[in-house]
Structure 1
Amino acid sequence: MKQKRRLLIRSTILLIIVTALGYTFYQNFFSDQTGMVKVGEEAPDFILTDLNGQTIQLSNYLGKGVFLNFWGTYCPPCEKEMPYMENQYERFKELGVEIIAVDVGEPELVVRRFVERHKLSFPIPMDSERRVIDLYGIRPLPTTFLIDENGIVTQRITGGMTEEDIIDYLSSIVPKDSDHKLK
């Protein structure tokens, strides 16, 4: 009798633990995250400082398309796509599209060396306190948001991109009233 009762109690406890772990796993990896910015929503405004000490405020880019990329130097897909972004930066900047690549929580020296090694010229704001990454619900890196000239998120891309992907994404957020045409 005691053995049956002990087995029942242990089985119940094990079931509760497995259920809690399963729920936690599901919430972290499969469910819709709270704080996750969704397509069709207004992109939350933020203010960060870039490597040059300049203030970057997202709302200052209204009227332009914004390619908002969240990345880290330790992320192989991030490193692979950075030169592709640089290759397209000047061309699309002339068309009214800005690339903003937010580094997530790394030391400035590490990021500065990465930027110098890859000769990146687009703005690289530092999210040292990880507030913006939390605001946007970023998981995993890299994650990129396409934001139209009205400040509305048109697409959320997770994972690395090819240069062709980046061209297509940048082309999709060229402001409609842009004076320039894609060549």
Structure 2
Amino acid sequence: MTKLFFSVMLFMTVGLIYGQKQNETLSQILQRLDTIKTATYLSKSSRSAPGDTTVFHTTEKFVSMFINPKDTILGAAFTRSSIDDHNQYEYCYDGNYGVEFDWENRVVKIDTFTSRYGRPIAPFFVKIKSLIQYTQDNIDSAEVKYTEYKDSIQIDISFKDKIVEFISLQPFVKQFDGKKSRYVIVVDKNFLPYKFVRKMPHQTSWETCKDINISKHIDFEFSSMQQISADFKIKGREFRKDKTYDLENTKAPSWKLKEIHGDSISLDEIKQKIVLIQFTGIGCGPCHKSIPFLKKLADEYKDKNFELVSVETWSDNVSGIGRYKDRNELNYRFLVSNKKTSEQYKIQGVPVFFILDEDRVIKKVVIGYTTEKTDKEITRIIEELLL
């Protein structure tokens, strides 16, 4: 009994020490991030579908970040440019304006963030800080694993039964029974983060930073508007959301697209009376969430003169898309889009649903997906058109 008692006490003591070390590590990372006022780095970001290591999207950018405590959206200003020309900005944000640069046409689009669309995504160090702070504040509901290597420290963090996203200064949190939000942070021995892995039910993404230069001081206030050359034309932010709705009651653009596990098929070859076209992305959360509804729809209407077609817009990796279709057991056509088709249907974001009548007129455009609400709307319109 005495030996068992001491074994239990030793286990509890080791666990307590280990837990303290974890908390100390998180605090040291936060302290390190608090010293950063400006930073530049090369960022490489990749994304893949859940359960698949095939990358469907990769970007490499040069980023400059400037901490701005007055900003309530990100808490920082930043610029993003190509790795070949750091001064040729693709996008910059200062808390008041987001500016998107089109160097070929010498045009900029300015977003004043009065709309809920087009919010900027926080730069690397802001996301890491938001994640660490949220983990410390919710340590009782977080699972944290600490692994020390020769030249780095890896922290694995997961939150059970909820989706937690860190795309801005304040985290987005939604309860989601049976799902997990998982993150991996890798820091050097000076507690400076340089790798961030995000594992959501709908997507896995990575961001790795190198050539990091940081400063503890900032003696200027960055302005997005001052980055615009005098010869650039200025436009207000244009959202294709409105243009997409303009396609209602017009003839659906024709297309011929490659079908996963099959040959190419054209819209003209589909003979069913009613067609539902969904433009999707294999790493898109709402798109992934719509799959159970679409599978049910395809099954219930398979003998009712109805055809469902899903068109992938985020990836052209046929093998990876094929695995995605097989893994989700899709029972409807799954095609790969091309630039022309996406432009003709004015696709900016996904999912977007187009409901076509027997004359191939677009009778309804439904943007986005909300469980039950979108289900009922699409089902109702299909029923009306089938009469």
Distance 1:54 1:79, change over 3 A: same
Specify which structure has the higher proportion of strand.
2
Aligned residues with identical type, % of pairs: 21
Aligned residues: 162
Asked whether 1:114 is paired with 2:324, we answer yes
Displacement after TM superposition at 1:121 (Å): 1.4
Distance in structure 1 (CA, Å) of the matches to 2:322 and 2:241: 35
Runs of 4+ displaced beyond 3 Å: 13-18, 30-33, 174-178
TM-score using structure 1 length = 0.74
Distance 1:90 1:146, change over 3 A: same
Distance 1:177 1:26, change over 3 A: closer
Distance in structure 2 (CA, Å) of the matches to 1:31 and 1:174: 25
Distance 1:90 1:159, change over 3 A: same
Displacement after TM superposition at 1:170 (Å): 3.4
3-state SS of the aligned residue for 1:133? helix
Distance 1:66 1:31, change over 3 A: closer
3-state SS of the aligned residue for 2:289? helix
Displacement after TM superposition at 1:164 (Å): 5.4
TM-score using structure 2 length = 0.37
Distance in structure 2 (CA, Å) of the matches to 1:76 and 1:174: 27
Distance 1:109 1:175, change over 3 A: same
Specify which structure has the higher proportion of helix.
1
Displacement after TM superposition at 1:172 (Å): 1.5
Greater relative contact order (Cα < 8 A, sep 6+): 1
Displacement after TM superposition at 1:31 (Å): 8.1
Displacement after TM superposition at 1:36 (Å): 7.5
Larger Rg: 2
Structure 2 partner of 1:133: 342
Displacement after TM superposition at 1:140 (Å): 0.9
Displacement after TM superposition at 1:168 (Å): 3.7
Structure 2 partner of 1:123: 333
Asked if the contact 2:351/2:368 (under 8 Å) is kept, the reply is yes
RMSD: 3.0
| Unaligned ranges ≥5, structure 1 | 1-12, 179-183
Structure 1 partner of 2:237: 26
| Unaligned ranges ≥5, structure 2 | 1-224
Listed as ranges, the matches of 1:158-173 within 5 Å are 158-163=367-372, 165-173=374-382
